[in-house]
C-alpha cells in the first residue's frame, strides 16, 4: 500500500466491511508508538440518522398537511 502525493491511503474493502466504514464515516487516527491506528470516531450516529438529518428541514410548499395527504392518496 502506498501513500498518494495528496497523503491519501485506500483502506482495503475487507477492513471497511469488517468495521462498517461507509462513505462519509468519520474516523480518528491514533499514534501508538511507531504505528498509527485508524478507528471510527466516537459518538457517531448511524447511517440512517445521517440520511434523516440530511432530509430533515422545512418544506418550501405552501400546502397544508391535509392537502399533501390528499395528493398522495389520489
Question: Is position 4 within any domain?
Answer: no
- State the pLDDT confidence band at 29, using cuts at 50, 70 and 90: very high
Query: What residue numbers bound the domain in which 28 lies?
Result: 13-72
* pLDDT of residue 46 exceeding 80: no
Q: Using only C-alpha atoms, what is the Rg of the chain?
A: 21
Cell reading at 23: 462513505
Question: Is position 8 within any domain?
Answer: no
Asked if 42 contacts 53 with a C-beta cutoff of 8 angstroms, the reply is no
Question: Is position 1 within any domain?
Answer: no
Cell reading at 3: 501513500
Mean pLDDT of 39-44: 79
Question: Is position 39 within any domain?
Answer: yes
Instruction: Specify the number of domains making up the chain.
Output: 1
Question: Is position 5 within any domain?
Answer: no
pLDDT confidence of residue 2: 92
pLDDT confidence of residue 5: 96
Mean pLDDT of 19-37: 90
Amino acid at each position: 500500500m502506498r501513500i498518494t502525493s495528496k497523503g491519501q491511503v485506500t483502506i482495503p474493502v475487507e477492513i471497511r466491511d469488517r468495521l462498517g466504514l461507509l462513505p462519509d464515516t468519520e474516523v480518528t487516527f491514533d499514534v501508538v508508538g511507531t504505528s498509527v491506528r485508524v478507528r471510527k470516531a466516537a459518538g457517531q450516529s448511524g447511517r440512517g440518522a445521517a440520511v434523516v438529518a440530511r432530509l430533515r428541514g422545512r418544506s418550501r410548499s405552501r400546502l397544508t398537511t391535509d392537502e399533501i395527504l390528499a395528493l398522495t392518496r389520489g
